Amino acid sequence: MEEKIEKKLLEMDATYNQIMEKLSDVATTSDAALCQTLGKRVGELKPYIKPFTLYKKLKAEIAEWEGLIKEEPENRGILEELSALSKKKEGLENEIQGLFTKKEELESLIIEIRAGTGGEESGLFTADLFRMYAKYCLENGFKQEIINANPTGIGGFKEIVFGIKGIGVYQRLKFELGVHRVQRVPITEASGRVHTSAVTVAVLCEPTKVEEIEIRAEDIRVDTFRSSGAGGQHVNKTESAIRITHIPTGLVVSCQNERSQGQNKETAMRVLKARLYERKKREEEEKRAAERKEQIKTGDRSEKIRTYNFKENRVTDHRIGLTLYRLDAIMDGDLNLLINKLREELS
């Protein structure tokens, strides 16, 4: 939970308790006008106090279980209990965040996953990571849309780009950017040897206001081409796919998932604006890098952030030294425990 929101809730909690004390005082109950005023304020505070009370209780329980896991780091029962509690806590955080956030202020981000070293196996793990994030979004009520996909012939992706919208989604997933390393026996490996491959994940925060990023018409070049992949006659006969080149920066964005050229252009412009916005943010962060040595810094994609070891059912996040022996659950979208730890350590 954001520090400013928790601080505000603590203030509201103190106010609520003070009012309840006054309402139990005979001097207050004899004053009808005062009772009405205080009762109205209680009604305003209750929607916040109830989930916050549960949140504090869950937070204390999680702290107790975390003390146990330090003594037994591989105890599956403790890990499962921690995961369940973290999931409940995450749900309460979403509920509380929603009380402070207007519906039209939902966060929007774009995730780009690209195969790196490792050939076909890297492409397959790109698909696995996409499914992991998709399941996480489904579990947490975030809306997701595929923007562009470049599939391989055996069920993987050379690249997949997708958008996510939801309250607090960027704050939860911003630490995913970087190189994700996988260690497992590929389905293409006949001798059963474990291979190490890598996949790059980029997390781009979309600007909430279009005017934040201005793109002049003379600064872009728009090319059309025929879509590839599934799509029947539409794919073969129409040049609906769009490629936009931003001339000043050299950034190139392609989109072919929509049915019309206009839709593809609109979506490609969204991605371009997000990339330019992220570029601007990164330049600002680089100026403060010296003061943020223990954090993500600039999100350098050459930096390995996490290793997924399938043989040992292990996930290790190298930035905070966290190892969890529950890879199967994590790949099934249960990222709450991992994400909460990253937010606690790196926010």
Task: Write out pLDDT tens, residues 99-132.
Answer: 776 544 567 889 999 999 888 999 999 999 999 9
pLDDT digits (tens, 9 = 90+) for 12-42: 899 988 988 888 887 777 777 888 888 888 8
pLDDT digits (tens, 9 = 90+) for 48-68: 888 889 999 998 999 888 888
pLDDT digits (tens, 9 = 90+) for 151-174: 998 889 999 999 998 888 888 899
SS3 63: helix
| 287 pLDDT higher than 80 | no
- Asked whether the beta carbons of 159 and 126 are under 8 A apart, the reply is yes
pLDDT at 208: 59
pLDDT digits (tens, 9 = 90+) for 179-206: 999 999 988 777 788 899 999 999 988 7
pLDDT at 240: 80
What is the pLDDT of the chain when averaged over all its residues? 83
Question: Binning pLDDT at 50, 70 and 90, where does residue 297 land?
Answer: very low
pLDDT at 330: 95
pLDDT at 176: 95
In terms of Cβ atoms closer than 10 Å to its own Cβ (0-12, 13-18, 19+), residue 119 is: middle
The domains of the chain, with CATH numbers, are 3-74+84-100 (no CATH), 103-210+300-346 (3.30.70.1660), 212-286 (3.30.160.20)
Helices and strands, counts by H and E, the chain: 10, 11
pLDDT digits (tens, 9 = 90+) for 221-270: 999 887 765 444 444 456 788 999 999 999 999 998 877 888 899 889 98
**Closest by Cα among 192, 194, 175 to 118:** 194
pLDDT at 31: 78
| Between 316 and 155, residue with greater pLDDT | 316
| 301 pLDDT higher than 80 | no
* Mean of pLDDT values over 257-285: 84
| Between 294 and 340, residue with greater pLDDT | 340
Question: Binning pLDDT at 50, 70 and 90, where does residue 209 land?
Answer: low
Q: How far apart are CA 326 and CA 314, in angstroms?
A: 6
pLDDT at 35: 81
pTM for this prediction: 0.57
| 275 pLDDT higher than 80 | yes
**Closest by Cα among 140, 136, 145 to 164:** 145
Neighbours of 316 (CB within 10 A): 18
* Mean of pLDDT values over 78-86: 86
Q: How far apart are CA 185 and CA 319, in angstroms?
A: 25
CA 196 to centroid of chain Cα atoms: 25
Maximum pairwise Cα distance, the chain: 85
Q: How many CA atoms lie within 13 A of 212 on its CB side?
A: 17
| 325 pLDDT higher than 70 | yes
pLDDT at 230: 47
| 290 pLDDT higher than 60 | no
pLDDT at 123: 94
CA 217 to centroid of chain Cα atoms: 32
Question: Binning pLDDT at 50, 70 and 90, where does residue 299 land?
Answer: very low
pLDDT at 97: 76
pLDDT at 105: 53
Q: Is 283 left (phi over 0), alpha (psi -120 to 50) or beta?
A: alpha
- Asked whether the beta carbons of 337 and 82 are under 8 A apart, the reply is yes
pLDDT at 210: 44
pLDDT at 103: 44
